[in-house]
């Protein structure tokens, strides 16, 4: 039986059952993913590529940690803070993680209000997300300066393997850069939402394409990704 290929003509064509239907949808004309805009598709593919960057960083760190001949410093002791005369392990990281995960929540709410075209709430929540992100970076700066004051350098540290400092600064630095860029773009997009750019379909500066509220969601994708990466860094670097 000769059968013509699916070309998305509304309901005119019958869809083959099961996996073949999935394949026919994906390979149909114009768009492989029917309800995905160009911007969103690009963000997903970028995140896939970025996953490989962080994956390589983490794998390299794990290799270094496993193959070094000198003992690895104990993260529970290194990342402890003395509060009220009591040494509490990982307390700062716990707070940082809590803040970052919370910011994912506020971001998700912003996306929701964006689609209901509630400009004020969207912008306010994005701003809140940006503040939480900025405070994460601030605490990271505090953590860095504390470690540096204790003598941790990329090339050495007082407690053991030199790769500890190098991996720590490299990986958290690279992640922190991601958060910082995220904060900047959150502010830019929050401003656009506030100004009503997406109501008037004003053209963006970079893309010269018409803007709409989906950009809030695309921003959200990036933000959630940065959070997710942090979970892995937290697990592999601090909890190991």
Partner 1 sequence: MVDIRSGAGETIPLAEVEDVELYHPKSWWTKYVFSQDAKIIAIQYSTTAIAIGMVALVLSWLMRLQLGFPGYFDFIDADHYYQFITMHGMIMVIYLLTALFLGGFGNYLIPLMVGARDMVFPYANMLSYWIYLLAVLVLVAGFFVPGGPTGAGWTLYPPQSILSGTPGGKDWGILLMLSSLILFIIGFTMGGLNYVVTVLQGRARGMTLMRMPLTIWGIFTATIMALLAFPALFVAAVMMLFDRLLGTSFFMPAIVEMGEQLKQGGGSPILFQHLFWFFGHPEVYIVALPAFGIVSDLISTHARKNIFGYRMMVWAIVIIAALSFIVWAHHMYVSGMNPQFGFFFATTTLIIAVPTAIKVYNWVLTLWRGDIHLSLPMLFALAFIVTFVNGGLTGLFLGNVVVDVPLSDTMFVVAHFHMVMGVAPILVIFGAIYHWYPKVTGRMLNEAMGQIHFWVTFLGAYAIFFPMHYLGLLGIPRRYHDLGDATFVPDSAHTLNAFISVMALTVGAAQLLFLFNLVWSIWKGRDAGGNPWRATTLEWQTPQTPPAHGNWGKELPVVYRWAYDYSVPGAAEDFIPQNHPGLGVPTRETGS
- The span from the CA of 176 to the CA of 172, in Å, is 6
Interaction between residue 6 and partner 1 (CB under 8 A): yes
Is 154:166 a contact under the CB 8 Å cutoff? yes
Nearest partner of 188 among 138, 222, 230, 231, judged by Cα: 222
Nearer to partner 1, 8 or 120 (CB): 8
Q: Residue 221 is encoded by which pair of tokens?
A: 């994708």
Q: Write the CB contacts of 81 (distance below 8 Å, at least 6 apart in sequence).
A: 87, 88, 91, 92
Q: Extract the tokens encoding 19.
A: 């996996």
Q: What are phi and psi of 44, to 5 degrees?
A: -60, -45
Q: Which of the stretches 36-44, 94-102, 107-115, 226-234 binds partner 1 when contact is defined by CB under 8 A?
A: 36-44
What DSSP element (H or E) covers 86? strand 86-89
- Span near partner 1 by CB under 8 A; candidates 81-89, 104-112, 135-143, 158-166: 158-166
Residues numbered 178-207 forming contacts with partner 1, rule: CB under 8 A: 206-207
Scanning 56-64, 102-110, 114-122, 217-225 for contacts with partner 1 by CB under 8 A, the matching segment is 56-64
Q: Is 148 in the site for partner 1 (CB under 8 A)?
A: no
Q: Does 177 bind partner 1 (CB under 8 A)?
A: no
Given the rule CB under 8 A, which of 31-39, 83-91, 104-112, 113-121 is the region that contacts partner 1?
A: 31-39
Does position 2 bind partner 1 by CB under 8 A? yes
The Cα 51–Cα 54 span in angstroms is 5
Using the minimum distance from each CB to partner 1, give the nearer residue, 88 or 200: 200
Residue 166 is a binding residue for partner 1 (CB under 8 A): yes
**Can you read off the two tokens belonging to residue 171?**
């990986």
Max alpha carbon distance in the chain (Å)? 81
Terminal C-alpha separation, the chain: 59
178: its two tokens: 């991601």
Q: Which of 21, 22, 32, 181 binds partner 1 (CB under 8 A)?
A: 32
CB closer to partner 1, 116 vs 206: 206
Span 60-89, contacts to partner 1 by CB under 8 A: 60, 63-64, 67-70
Binding residues for partner 1, per CB under 8 A? 1-10, 12-13, 24, 26-34, 36-38, 41-42, 45-46, 48-50, 52-53, 55-57, 60, 63-64, 67-70, 154-156, 161-163, 165-166, 170, 174, 206-209
């Amino acid at each position: 039986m000769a059968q013509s290929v699916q070309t998305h003509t509304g309901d005119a064509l019958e869809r083959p059952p099961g996996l073949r239907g999935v394949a026919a949808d994906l390979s149909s004309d114009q768009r492989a993913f029917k309800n995905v805009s160009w911007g969103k598709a690009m963000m997903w593919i970028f995140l896939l590529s970025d996953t490989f960057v962080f994956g390589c960083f983490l794998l390299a760190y794990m290799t270094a940690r496993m193959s070094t001949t000198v003992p690895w410093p104990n993260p529970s002791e290194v990342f402890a803070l003395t509060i009220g005369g009591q040494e509490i392990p990982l307390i700062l990281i716990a707070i940082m993680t809590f803040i970052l995960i919370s910011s994912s929540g506020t971001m998700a709410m912003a996306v929701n209000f964006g689609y209901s075209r509630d400009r004020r709430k969207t912008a306010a929540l994005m701003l809140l997300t940006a503040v939480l992100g900025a405070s994460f970076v601030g605490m990271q700066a505090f953590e860095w300066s504390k470690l540096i004051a204790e003598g941790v350098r990329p090339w050495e540290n007082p407690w053991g393997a030199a790769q500890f400092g190098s991996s720590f600064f490299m990986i958290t630095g690279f992640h922190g850069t991601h958060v910082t860029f995220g904060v900047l773009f959150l502010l830019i997009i929050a401003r656009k939402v506030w100004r009503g750019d997406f109501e008037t379909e004003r053209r963006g500066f970079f893309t010269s394409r018409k803007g709409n509220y989906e950009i809030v969601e695309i921003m959200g994708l990036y933000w959630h990704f940065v959070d997710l990466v942090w979970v892995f860094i937290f697990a592999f670097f601090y909890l190991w």
